[in-house]
Structure 1
Amino acid sequence: MFVRFEGEVFRWEARSDSDWYFVAVPVELSTEIREVQTYRRGFGGVRVEATIGGSTWRTSIFPQAGGVYVLPLKRAVRDAEGIAPDAVVLVDLAVLDA
């Protein structure tokens, strides 16, 4: 399964010293992913290959309140693509656990 979406980058606020940034997969796409996903990983994670700009990496998306998955954005990707907090990014996401 392949999806493309735009989303706003946000910082994980559960810890004030956190340097974790994410982008939320829209609700309708999260629902589609949940419907085709056949393998459940720890914490409900789904393995994906993500691309933003010229950066591609493998990671997992994780379910959050509100029925959405969130994609973690590694510092290396944020730096390579010049992604600032609160930026809007275009994400190509290939779901590997479907």
Structure 2
Amino acid sequence: MESFTVTTPLWRWQSATAPAAWFFVTIAGDEADGIRMAAMTGQWIDGQKGFGSARVEAKIGDTRWKTSVFPHKESGGWLLPVKAMVRKAESLAEGDEVTVTVSL
């Protein structure tokens, strides 16, 4: 299992037509390249479902969860969704710098 750690801001995306908001961190640069290589080598990229997503285990603080990262065209990296239960457990708010480790 390979792991990659980044510190990056937590940001919110909200649809213009729906009230729900989603929170993400963006994984870019060398770590994004490492995830891409590890995912292709381990056959973890799901091209049929999930828009080319890669399955990962994520860790912020003491909280671990299984999820997927999604390709991010703007940065050339990956988007990691951060669930409400993770934000609550780690006392995170929009704009906070978050250190996250993803493993795959």
TM over 0.5: yes
Structure 1 residue ranges, 4+ long, deviating more than 2 angstroms after superposition? none
Is 2:51 aligned against 1:51?
no
CA distance in 2, matches of 1:62, 1:87: 21
The 5-angstrom pairing of residues 37-76 of structure 1 reads 37-38=39-40, 39=43, 40-41=45-46, 42=49, 43-65=51-73, 66-76=75-85
| CA-to-aligned-CA distance 1:61-92 (integer Å, 9 cap, x gap) | 00011211010000000011100001001111
Aligned length: 94
* % identical aligned pairs: 33
Residue 6 of structure 1 aligns with an amino acid whose one-letter code is T
Match of 1:26 in 2: 28
CA distance in 1, matches of 2:102, 2:72: 17
Unaligned runs of 5+ in 2: none
Q: 2:101 aligns with which of 84, 92, 96?
A: 92
CA RMSD in angstroms comes to 1.2
CA distance in 2, matches of 1:30, 1:90: 15
CA distance in 2, matches of 1:57, 1:93: 10
CA distance in 1, matches of 2:30, 2:78: 10
CA distance in 2, matches of 1:93, 1:22: 13
CA distance in 2, matches of 1:18, 1:69: 21
Give TM-score, length-normalised by structure 1: 0.88
Unaligned runs of 5+ in 1: none
